[in-house]
Amino acid sequence: MELLHRFAVFLVLFMGFGYGSARRQQSALWRGGGAAMTKYETIVVDQSGNGNYSSIQAAIDAIPSNNMQWICVYVKEGTYKFVVFLVLFMGFGYGSARRPQSALWRGGGAAMTKYETIVVDQSGNGNYSSIQAAIDAIPSNNMQWICVYVKEGTYNEQVKIPMDKPMIYLKGAGKRNTNVVWGSYDAIDQTATFNCEADEIVVKSMTFINSYNYPCNNKMRKPALAAKIIGDRSAFYRVGFMGFQDTLWDARGRHYFKLCSIRGAVDFIMGSGQSIYERCTVSVIAGCLEPGQPGFITAQSRENPNHPNGFIFKDCKVVGNGTTYLGRPWRGFARVLFYNSTLTNVVVPEGWIVYGIYVESMDDLAFAEYACRGEGAKISGRTYWEKNMSKDEIRRLTSMSYIDEEGWMKNQPFNMLSS
């Protein structure tokens, strides 16, 4: 039976689905770095739940009848019982009917989310062996979602998604399994391990690390970014950002972070992004600083009271070692809200501080907390100028409409709102 299993999988992987004269001309999955492109689409089957389907039959059932384009059902390693029936009873779609636009299928029986996939694998079993090579292969001004699936491993490279390459879904094999590591420092506009300039980017299940001062070491402390994000309408799900100073430059644009881990000691979430951080873990490593020196979580840089940007931490956890302020302003109208979050005893009683920048009036700052808990959430020792926001303002800032008034998130290839 084991032999039949393997034989059946072989047939599924390499058999064509749809003979006929009609040919697809649009972009698809790229095979071979720099070589001629072989075009097909991929559905991933993985018993562990990290694919599009967990059974081969479910993947094949999702393929439309009378299909006229090559489709690859990629079955990850494992023993799949009764696979032999897939080949014996599967139809191959002879006929003239054509399927609409190319797609990769997500979710057994659910609405289909359409995208194409490029596989990155250091061992050479993918389409490319580096993430940047895969991104470079995507056409400029791309108008269809493309998934760059990065297999597990540590990728020692700097990754940049340029402004002219939107609609990329960068997906790893897990926050602990796919790591991108680089060690540049000083010039914050050039040193980020991950530089995301394009609009409409989704990143899932991987970690970006700037290794210059991380893990803690004796090197001179310098700004060293794990990520710089300047595109609009971008979302991050189960993504790690690891560094020491200036870890995550949430520079500008509307962003959604969910179940992410962000680690650092000094100003490690900074910028002018209009962002919601939901159910994220903010991990402070201020214990690596000089004895008695506290860290700073946020350095938000709103410059004008009419600007909509701000950092909203919703249902998050602040943990770690040493002591830290929740934030300090990077510009004179900085706005940060911690909402319904757990603040451990790493947070100093004052909560907030103005340090290293001139602020014309403390009333211009919008640093606030609401319904938080934990040893670090006691407000009795808070600075006098912490903002007491109205319930209407808190409701507005914590609503998804704060970053998604027009509904851009529902058009992404992965629905993280329901996850």
Q: Is residue 157 over pLDDT 80?
A: yes
pLDDT at 88 over 80: no
Any idea which residues carry the catalytic annotation?
A: 246, 267
DSSP 10-35: HHHHHS-S--SS----S-----STTS
State pLDDT tens for residues 45-71: 888 777 788 889 988 988 877 776 788
Q: Which amino acid is at 271?
A: G
| Residues in contact with 399: Cβ distance below 8 Å, sequence separation at least 6, in sequence order | none
Instruction: Report the pLDDT value the prediction gives residue 108, as an integer from 0 to 100.
Output: 32
Q: Mean pLDDT, to the nearest integer, of 339-352?
A: 98
Report the C-alpha gap between 331 and 309 in whole angstroms: 12
Once rounded to an integer, what is the mean pLDDT over residues 319-348? 98
Strand partners, 196: 161, 229
Strand (E) or helix (H) holding 7 = helix 2-14
Q: Pull the structure tokens for residue 392.
A: 């209407």
Mean pLDDT, residues 149-156 taken together: 98
The confidence score (pLDDT) of residue 81 equals 67
Identify the residue whose tokens are 């004052």: 350
Residue-range domain boundaries for the chain: 2-88, 116-418
pLDDT by residue (tens digit) across 24-44? 334 444 544 443 344 567 788
User: 238 — alpha (psi -120 to 50), left (phi > 0) or beta?
Assistant: left
Residue 79 has a pLDDT of 87
Quick one: pLDDT band at residue 193, thresholds 50, 70, 90?
very high
DSSP letter assigned to residue 4: H
Joined tokens for residue 331: 């510009």
The chain-wide mean pLDDT, for the chain, equals: 85
pLDDT at 199 exceeding the cut of 90? yes
Partner residues linked to 168 by β-bridges? 146, 201
% the chain with pLDDT above 90: 69
The secondary structure of 69-136, three-state, reads CCEEEEECCCCCCCCHHHHHCCCCCCCCCCCCCCCCCCCCCCCCCCCEEEEECCCCCCCECCHHHHHH
What's the rounded mean pLDDT across residues 254-275?
A: 98
What integer pLDDT is reported at residue 113 of this predicted model? 59
> Tell me, what's the pLDDT at 156?
98
Give the mean pLDDT of 102-114: 41
d(CA 180, CA 148): 14
pLDDT of 109 higher than 50: no
Question: Residue 32 is which amino acid?
Answer: G
pLDDT value at position 39? 57
pLDDT at 84: 37
- Mean of the pLDDT values across residues 5-14? 40
CATH of domain 116-418: 2.160.20.10
Query: Quick one: pLDDT at residue 13?
Result: 42
Q: Model confidence over 277-321: pLDDT tens digits? A: 999 999 999 999 999 999 999 999 999 999 999 999 999 999 999
For the stretch 158-179, pLDDT in tens is 999 999 999 999 999 999 999 9
Q: How confident is the model at residue 10 (pLDDT cuts 50, 70, 90)?
A: very low
Which of the four pLDDT bands, split at 50, 70 and 90, describes residue 414? confident
Q: Lowest-confidence range among 15-24, 304-313, 330-339?
A: 15-24
CA proximity to 372, closest of 360, 355, 356, 389: 389
pLDDT tens figures, 213-261: 999 999 999 999 999 999 999 999 999 999 999 999 999 999 999 999 9
Under a CB-based contact definition with an 8 Å cutoff, are residues 56 and 80 in contact?
Answer: yes
Token look-up 């851009």 returns: 408
For the entire predicted model, the pTM comes to 0.78
Rounded to the nearest 10°, the torsion over CA 103, 104, 107, 112 is -10
Question: With 70 as the cut, is the pLDDT of residue 408 above it?
Answer: yes
C-alpha distances out from residue 255 to 170, 324, 363, Å: 15, 25, 26
